[in-house]
Amino acid sequence: MTTVHVVVPDGIDDPASPSGGNRYDREVCDGLRAAGWQVVEHAVAGTWPTPQPSSWSALRRVVDALPDGALVLLDGLVASTASDVLLPVSGRLRLVVLVHLPFGLELAAVDGARTVVDAPRRERAVLGAAAAIVTTSCWTRARLLEGYGLQPAHVHVAQPGVHSGALATGSAAGTGLLCVGPVTRNKGHHVLLEALGHLDDRPWRCVVVGAVDREPGHAEEVRRRAEAHGLADRFVLAGPKSGTALDDAYCGADVLVLPSLVETYGMVVTEALSHGLPVVASAAGGVPEALGRLADGRTPGLLVAPGDAVALARALASWLDDEVLRRSLRRAALERRADLRGWAATTADVSRVLQAVAA
């Protein structure tokens, strides 16, 4: 049995702070165990991805305690800015970095937090010293190769999987809009709200499922804008949900709306498709990759340019006004649902990378 030490941010199982990266880490850890790996998890406390000195100290204590030659899979949220900690041990440990988001290339605008101004230098150094890199989309892999000049043979893709979900019942009018993701600037809720402001004559209702404490100033701004536009009773910030509660939110909706400005894959897209929900989204990063296409070229959703509220309003108007389009997209979503990959495939991809490094 081969041992892999997995370094993750503290709190990946906290139901109050769900995220795609946390779900990915948990599914992979559990999947590797099921596949016969001995998985030793190290949850590192810290203000990732904008660490304070105490965060790096906590990580240093973890890696310094690992035996020489240990195989270590590090979440990029922890690893990407920790060059001062990881470079000194890269010669005696076999480091594999799992990159959910290339922070040095697409730094989020974090309200009220200290950003790491030299993140590109730190991330480039960490990834250059790693024995292998796992990305969660082909788009992310391409960005890393282009931006950091890494060896292509060292950068791999393990797209997220999805669990099969119960089919959404849907409504004839398609007025139930669902947006899933923390209320942060990069998730584009302000763009969605602006788009919906153009559609206040239609009987839609949008439920936003996601944490409001990541960027509380921005979340409050979104809330104030909804009230100022008279949309507060139709644009509902429902807070974070996970497990059965999240499944119920998908099952009770007609369409997923994802207005992200930055998105490396978009796990909520495949989650929505697993429930048979079509998607209206921005074509940010890896979102088109997650949405996918059917063999005949059809897509189970509509894509618009990131940040374009007018284009998003037009797409949503088409969904709300055109019954034929709704039926077509719903059929496409059901067909795409049958082709979605499970988490076992993701685990197998990660396992192959780890086996190669271990060998």
Summarised one tens digit per residue, pLDDT across range 296-310 is 999 999 999 999 999
Q: Count Cβ atoms within 10 A of the Cβ of residue 149 and give its class: 0-12 exposed, 13-18 middle, 19 or more buried.
A: exposed
Give CA angle at 209 (177, 271), nearest 5°.
75
Task: Return the percent helix, strand and coil in the chain, to nearest 5.
Answer: 45, 15, 40
Q: What is the DSSP string of 181-210?
A: S---GGGTHHHHHHHHHTTTTS--EEEEES
* Residue 107 or 273, more confident: 273
Gap between the Cα atoms of 347 and 345, Å rounded: 5
Same domain, residue pair 207 and 225: yes
User: Which amino acid is residue 84, in one-letter code?
Assistant: D
295 — pLDDT class (breaks 50, 70, 90): very high
Across the range 153-173, mean pLDDT stands at: 95
Domain that holds residue 132: 3-161+341-358
Q: Is the pLDDT of residue 73 over 70?
A: yes
Number of folded domains that form the chain = 2
Residue 111 has pLDDT above 60, yes or no: no
9 and 127 share one domain = yes
pTM above 0.85, yes or no: yes
Please give the full DSSP string across 205-221, using - where no structure is assigned: EEEEES-SSSSHHHHHH
The rounded distance, in Å, linking the Cα atoms of 3 and 70 is 8
Strand partners, 38: 3
The CATH number of the domain holding residue 267 is: 3.40.50.2000
Per residue in 193-249, pLDDT (tens digit) is 999 999 999 999 999 999 999 899 999 999 999 999 999 999 999 999 999 999 999
- Residues 47-70 have pLDDT tens digits of 787 788 888 899 999 999 999 999
Can you read off the two tokens belonging to residue 223?
Answer: 């809330």
Is there a single domain that holds both residue 53 and residue 132?
yes
Please indicate, yes or no, whether residues 95 and 144 belong to a single structural domain of this protein.
Answer: yes
Given a cut of 70, is residue 323 above it in pLDDT?
yes
Beta bridge partners, 256, equal 178, 279
Mean pLDDT of the chain: 93
* Crossing angle between the packed helical segments 309-321 and 189-197, to the nearest 10 degrees: 60
Instruction: Please check whether residues 71 and 140 belong to one and the same domain.
Output: yes
Q: Are residues 353 and 232 in the same domain?
A: no
306 three-state secondary structure: coil
Same domain, 305 and 354: no
The confidence band for 1, taking pLDDT boundaries of 50, 70 and 90, is: low
Q: Are residues 7 and 119 in the same domain?
A: yes
Structure-token pair, residue 184: 């942060």
- List, for residues 256-278, the tens digit of each pLDDT value: 999 999 999 999 999 999 999 99
